[in-house]
Structure 1
Amino acid sequence: MADKIRTLGPGSLVIGSSDDQYKLDVDCTSVELSPDNSSEDPDTYLDGHEEGGALSTSWKLSGSIGEDFSMNGAQVYCLNNAGETKPAKFIPNTSGALQLDMTVTIAPIAFGGDVKTKNKKDFEFSATGVKASAYTKPSA
């Protein structure tokens, strides 16, 4: 049985396709891909049958970044691409075998905070088409 990898990082979080990639991982201090599961109550009909009650799941990719006040920073990237839908790849730990692929909708991230402090800012993107696949470390 293979050893279990239980630590987040070092990993990777890349947004965009191969010709338009942004490496968000270099700024991330935390990352989470989380589902929101909900189900509606079924409707019961006079004849006794029920319809509905299906489970639906929505996803969000969220976390925190360390601020970077350059024109190449995550906040500027997200501001300039706000509302765009892009592919994303999250690899929780490059020593593991898990890769999560999805499509995210970019949302802006706040700027600023406490003076003379390295501030962290939270981000949250809606995600769709979440799929788990085997991660294979690239050969050197």
Structure 2
Amino acid sequence: MTILSHKLGPGSLTFGEVASEQEFAAQLRSCSLTPDTEEEDPIDVLSGEQIDGDETYTYTIGGSILDGYTMESLAVWAHQNKGTVMPFEFIPNADITGAMKWTGQAKIRPIAHGGDVKSRNENDFEFKIIGDPTPAAVA
């Protein structure tokens, strides 16, 4: 099998409906779509066998953003939209042949703001994905 490895970027991360979406890419230092699996314990039966426990899959989309200290900052946008479920589109690298994207619905949460004095601060964010994200080819 051929080794398959690409760099993250140039790409995009947007939240919201087309024509009114919020673009995160210009402020992003890192970005990832992260799965989490919760697995219940197996169930023992008299015969000595086991039934596998149920598994539940959840996802988040998040990363690290550079702080901006204007009313157009991502932290202000996230505060104003906290609790809102919005569509998202994450394109990890738009420049590769066969580029892919992830789409879905994410619940917006507030983002920390600030940090060290006289520094270019960045803060992590994480938005819960509602349901499963969908991979697709970039058109």
Unaligned regions of 5+ residues in structure 1, if any?
A: none
What does the per-residue CA deviation read over 1:62-117, in whole Å, with 9 as the maximum and x for residues that have no partner?
10000011111100000000011101000000013110011111011111111111
Distance in 2, matches of 1:102 and 1:94, equals: 18
> Partner letter of residue 133 of structure 2?
V
> Partner letter of residue 134 of structure 2?
K
Matched positions, count: 135
Q: Which stretch of the first structure deviates more once superposed, 54-63 or 73-82?
A: 54-63
Q: Partner residue of 1:108?
A: 110
> Partner letter of residue 118 of structure 1?
R
Q: Post-superposition shift, 1:38?
A: 2.2
What does the per-residue CA deviation read over 1:15-40, in whole Å, with 9 as the maximum and x for residues that have no partner?
01114200011110100111011211
Q: Partner residue of 2:134?
A: 131
Q: Partner residue of 1:69?
A: 69
Structure 1 stretches of at least 4 aligned residues deviating more than 6 Å after TM superposition: none
1:30 paired with 2:30, answer: yes
Distance in 2, matches of 1:12 and 1:56, equals: 28
Q: Partner residue of 1:99?
A: 101
Alignment TM-score, normalising by the size of structure 1: 0.87
> Partner letter of residue 9 of structure 2?
G
Q: Percent identity?
A: 33
Distance in 2, matches of 1:20 and 1:51, equals: 48
Distance in 1, matches of 2:5 and 2:102, equals: 15
Question: Could you tell me whether the CA contact under 8 Å between 1:98 and 1:133 is conserved in 2?
Answer: yes
Unaligned regions of 5+ residues in structure 2, if any?
A: none
Q: Post-superposition shift, 1:49?
A: 7.4
> Partner letter of residue 29 of structure 2?
T
Question: Could you tell me whether the CA contact under 8 Å between 1:75 and 1:108 is conserved in 2?
Answer: yes
Q: Partner residue of 1:83?
A: 83
Distance in 2, matches of 1:35 and 1:79, equals: 24
